[in-house]
Every structure is written in structure tokens, then in C-alpha cells.
Amino acid sequence: MINVRAATLDDAKQIAGIHDQTWKSTYEPLIAEKDLKRVMNIEHRTIMWETTLSSSKVKQYVYVAEDERGEIVGFISGGKERTDNFDYEAEIYDIYVLEEFQGQKIGYKLFKKFVTQCLSDGYYSLLVWILTNNPYGDFYVKYGAKKVEAENVTIGDGTYEETAYGWNNIEFLAEELMVTSK
């Protein structure tokens, strides 16, 4: 059984490990090896997550999914849309589930918790950026996300295309997620 809960500072190292491992396994087919090697390592990710989870200034939601042993197997993070360049209020910054736990609706459970929190805090629209060729992009489309825009991003020394997907009204998304859970 999977339990979804708010992350704590004690979770930083496990989140960093999942972030590092799943980022690499997801993007190895999409990003040149030399560029993958230039992105953050586990130590940098740990510091990043410790900072995020200990900061009272940063309004960021971070939820983890634990298996029956209490081990973290996935996480989601996000908050206010970061650029103010789009007509969306909230943004998913990260969502990752360990490969061996994928296909068990863990991403769905994390996503549902995140959307519920966004609505509770008065956000009514949501954006997420993914690499355009990311095979997991269908997850968002399945729940009604529409393509918003594509632009280039630099990773390492390489340039890659990212696509933004969005929901103009996450009240409808929340209803869809409630129906899906039944």
C-alpha cells in the first residue's frame, strides 16, 4: 500500500536519490551523455532539497509516496508558476517515481494530492514543463492537459526542446481525478 504525505527535512536525502536516479533513467535516451554528466550530482541535489524543505520563505509543496516499509518511492514538488510569463497560477516543478514502482498509480496519487493542495490554497490553473520527447508526457494529456508552448532549454552544453502543458481550470481536473480513483 502506498501512503502519500508531506515531505519533511528528514526526507531530503531520499528525495535527492530518487531525483538523481529517475532523472538520469528518464532522460538518458533524450539527452546526450556529456550533457547528463554536467547536471547536478547527488550531493548538489541533497543540498537543494535540504534547502527547499527547511526554508520558511519558499512556498513550495513537496509530497512523497512511501511504500509499506516506509521507503520513499516517488515525489512531487511545485508551487507558484515561476516565470509569470504564462496565464497559469501554479506549476509542477518535479514529479518522479522510481522505475520499479511505475505503473502502480503512484504518480496519479502524488498528482491528485498536489492538485488538491493547489485548489485548497486558491490556485485554479496549473502548468508543467517536460522535455518534448519525454515518453511520460502522455500522463498529463490523459488528464486533459493542453499544449501551451514549446521553447529551448540548455542542459549541460546542449540545447533541448521543452513543452509546457497546462490546465486552465484545475477544478475540472480535480473532479476527473476523483472519478479516476474509483
Percentage, residues of the chain above pLDDT 90: 70
Q: Which pLDDT band holds residue 40 (cuts at 50, 70, 90)?
A: low
pLDDT at 175: 85
Mean pLDDT of 59-79: 95
Q: Which residue has the higher pLDDT, 54 or 135?
A: 54
pLDDT at 176: 83
Q: What b/e sequence results for 156-180 when a residue is b if at least 16 CB atoms lie within 10 Å of its CB, and e otherwise?
A: eeeebeebbbbbeebeebbebbeee
pLDDT of 174 above 90: no
Mean pLDDT of 99-111: 94
Gap between the Cα atoms of 33 and 65, Å rounded = 29
pLDDT at 182: 45
Gap between the Cα atoms of 22 and 52, Å rounded = 19
**Tally of structural domains, the chain:** 1
Domain of residue 166, CATH code: 3.40.630.30
Q: Give 15-34 pLDDT, tens digit per residue.
A: 999 999 998 888 888 998 88
Mean pLDDT of 152-170: 94
Is the pTM for the entire model greater than 0.85?
yes
Range of the domain at 148: 3-180
Gap between the Cα atoms of 141 and 164, Å rounded = 11
pLDDT of 181 above 70: no
